[in-house]
């Protein structure tokens, strides 16, 4: 970070800070940070009910806005306050699809004494959800969540399906708008933070012999799930939020773990997944009573972390990569106002629909695999890791294709190694914030031969044709279903792929004919 920004707010009164920055319904800025803040600065924090805020900052540390969470009921919205001293509350998380931030608090009046010991049936636990518009929905009131203890964190895939944790009751699943939840695991009931990476549910806790662990397999929604400590991860320490990144092309899935820890001298811990075990890569200290929140992004195998402590927000650039000791020191970019405390942190939600993979296919051309795919809604997409497997289960990265980040995109890639037997391919589609998802797996048999393949299908502008090696006088014709030729192009000698502009064709069904010096191949496609 070349420049550090000092908050001008330090030169004015805390009351003026609260009054001048509490805006509501203001659209979040793309790529900014949101931190959960306890307290309005008017008085020292106590264990009583306290006003809570969502503070938006740029990644350089400039305050953008502060959204006050409701302290009075309005319509379907309940009150959503927090304890002033429960440092494990407010573990805010962004949903897997990037469209929402979720968090949890209490439906109680400000200054309610000993609020963390209240019963959930009397003082409902309120789930907050906010999208890119900045409008807070606090209508979900749970009567059985973190009973007689403090609610801490909520994570969601899509703003509807949700998993939550707190000081009691273990991991719980519910849908937005519900009044009750399902306890899906009893392995550990006192849990601090919860998140989803690579389609797997994880938690952190400072209780018992668990610290950072997976919950069941994938995203479970039913009772009886087992919480399993990550292999070789230490059973000591005091973890809060955590963040998983994929920094190695040779290790499938997330392979580097960063943990916010408030134990003395630890701050941010780094681990790498080596031969199935999580190996320590050291730690760096964080000032301000230890780290509580963490999030990050990845670009070119460099992880940029954003960390919250009760008193500060820090940035940290870890350029050492996979299975290398973390050495960079956190740099403070924000100082919390007096009589307030920062809790969890994450990136702002997006108003853009997530990346959509419209089509993905593999075809055999001259003994080599030709991969084609098309997408829509590419916004802040990093690119596509092309992964290959011989058994359909164990994949390794073959190459990486950068995203075009246009509205509609088509891609083509040829595996330089000739196919033998059956090979399998998939795409790992990564966003610039480090999140990712996989395509379906496509199989290719080296014994099969291709005569003609059209991609994408349906097509709107350009049809890409894969065909056998073109001889002299090879051509491609586009024909209507009633036999009328509407387009025709010559094919270069030796080519195995051609393209035809179909943008001016009327929507409907068409036939493409590849005439290879008298040998014809036929395929059909749909013009959008």
pLDDT averages per 10-residue partition of the chain, 528 residues: 33 34 67 96 97 97 97 97 97 93 98 97 98 95 98 96 98 98 97 94 96 96 97 96 92 92 87 97 89 91 94 96 96 97 95 77 81 84 88 83 85 83 86 74 69 80 83 86 81 84 85 81 80
Among 360, 361, 367, residue whose Cα is nearest residue 448: 367
Q: Is the peptide bond between 370 and the residue preceding it cis, with omega within 30 degrees of 0?
A: no
Task: Specify the DSSP class assigned to residue 92.
Answer: -
Q: How many whole angstroms separate alpha carbon 380 and alpha carbon 493? A: 39
Residue 181 sits at φ, ψ, to 5 deg, of: -135, 165
Strand partners, 411: 373
Domains in the chain, please, with CATH?
8-347 (2.120.10.30), 352-448 (2.60.40.10), 451-528 (2.60.40.3080)
3-state SS class at 115: helix
Spell out the residues 6+ positions from residue 21 whose beta carbon is closer than 8 angstroms to its own: 9, 55, 63, 65, 66
Q: Return the residue matching tokens 């919390």.
A: 336
User: pLDDT digits over 88-100, tens only?
Assistant: 999 999 998 889 9
User: pLDDT digits over 167-198, tens only?
Assistant: 999 999 999 999 999 999 999 999 999 999 98
Q: Are 36 and 52 in contact (CB under 8 A)?
A: yes
Q: Are 259 and 203 in contact (CB under 8 A)?
A: no
Please state, in angstroms and as integers, the Cα–Cα distance from residue 113 to each residue in 46, 83, 110, 326, following that order.
9, 9, 9, 42
Burial of 15 (0-12, 13-18, 19+ CB in 10 A): exposed
User: pLDDT digits over 339-364, tens only?
Assistant: 999 999 999 998 666 678 888 888 87
pTM above 0.85, yes or no: no
pLDDT at position 94 is 96
């Amino acid at each position: 970070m070349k420049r550090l920004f000092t908050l001008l707010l330090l030169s004015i009164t805390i009351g003026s800070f609260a009054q001048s920055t509490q805006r509501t319904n203001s659209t979040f800025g793309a790529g900014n940070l949101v931190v959960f803040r306890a307290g309005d600065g008017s008085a020292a924090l106590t264990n009583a009910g306290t006003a809570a805020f969502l503070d938006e900052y740029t990644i350089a540390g400039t305050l953008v806005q502060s959204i006050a969470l409701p302290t009075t009921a309005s319509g379907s919205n309940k009150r959503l306050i927090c304890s002033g001293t429960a440092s494990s509350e407010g573990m805010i998380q962004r949903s897997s699809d990037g469209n929402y931030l979720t968090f949890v608090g209490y439906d109680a009046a400000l200054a309610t004494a000993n609020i963390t010991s209240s019963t959930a049936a009397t003082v409902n636990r309120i789930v907050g959800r906010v999208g890119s518009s900045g409008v807070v929905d606090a209508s979900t009131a749970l009567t059985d969540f973190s009973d007689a203890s403090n609610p801490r964190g909520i994570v969601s895939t899509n703003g509807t399906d949700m998993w939550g944790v707190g000081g009691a009751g273990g991991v719980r699943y519910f849908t937005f708008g519900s009044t009750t939840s399902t306890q899906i695991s009893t392995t550990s009931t006192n849990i601090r933070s919860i998140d989803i990476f690579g389609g797997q549910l994880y938690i952190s806790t400072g209780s018992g012999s668990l610290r950072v662990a997976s919950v069941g397999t994938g995203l479970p929604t039913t009772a009886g799930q087992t919480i399993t400590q990550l292999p070789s991860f230490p059973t000591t320490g005091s973890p809060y939020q955590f963040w998983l990144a994929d920094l190695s092309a040779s290790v499938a899935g997330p392979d580097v773990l960063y943990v916010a820890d408030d134990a003395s001298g630890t701050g941010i811990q780094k681990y790498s997944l080596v031969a199935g075990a999580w190996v320590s890569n050291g730690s760096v200290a964080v000032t301000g009573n230890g780290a509580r929140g963490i999030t990050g992004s990845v670009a070119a195998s460099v992880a940029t972390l954003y960390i919250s402590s009760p008193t500060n927000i820090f940035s940290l650039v870890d350029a050492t990569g996979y299975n290398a000791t973390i050495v960079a020191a956190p740099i403070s970019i924000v100082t919390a106002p007096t009589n307030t405390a920062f809790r969890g942190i994450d990136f702002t939600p997006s108003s853009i629909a997530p990346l959509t993979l419209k089509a993905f296919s593999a075809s055999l051309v001259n003994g080599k695999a030709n991969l084609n795919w098309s997408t829509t809604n590419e916004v802040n997409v990093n690119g596509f890791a092309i992964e290959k497997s011989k058994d359909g289960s164990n994949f390794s990265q073959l190459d990486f294709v950068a995203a075009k980040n246009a509205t509609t995109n088509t891609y083509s890639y040829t595996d330089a190694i000739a196919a033998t037997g059956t090979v399998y391919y998939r795409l790992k589609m990564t966003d610039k914030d480090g999140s990712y998802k996989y395509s379906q797996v496509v199989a290719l048999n080296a014994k099969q031969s291709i005569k003609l393949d059209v991609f994408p299908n349906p097509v709107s502008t350009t049809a890409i044709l894969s065909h056998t090696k073109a001889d002299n006088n090879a051509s491609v014709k586009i024909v209507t279903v009633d036999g009328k030729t509407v387009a025709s192009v010559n094919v270069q000698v030796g080519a195995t792929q051609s393209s035809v502009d179909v943008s001016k064709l009327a929507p409907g069904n068409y036939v493409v004919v590849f005439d290879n010096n008298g040998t014809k191949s036929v395929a059909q496609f749909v013009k959008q």
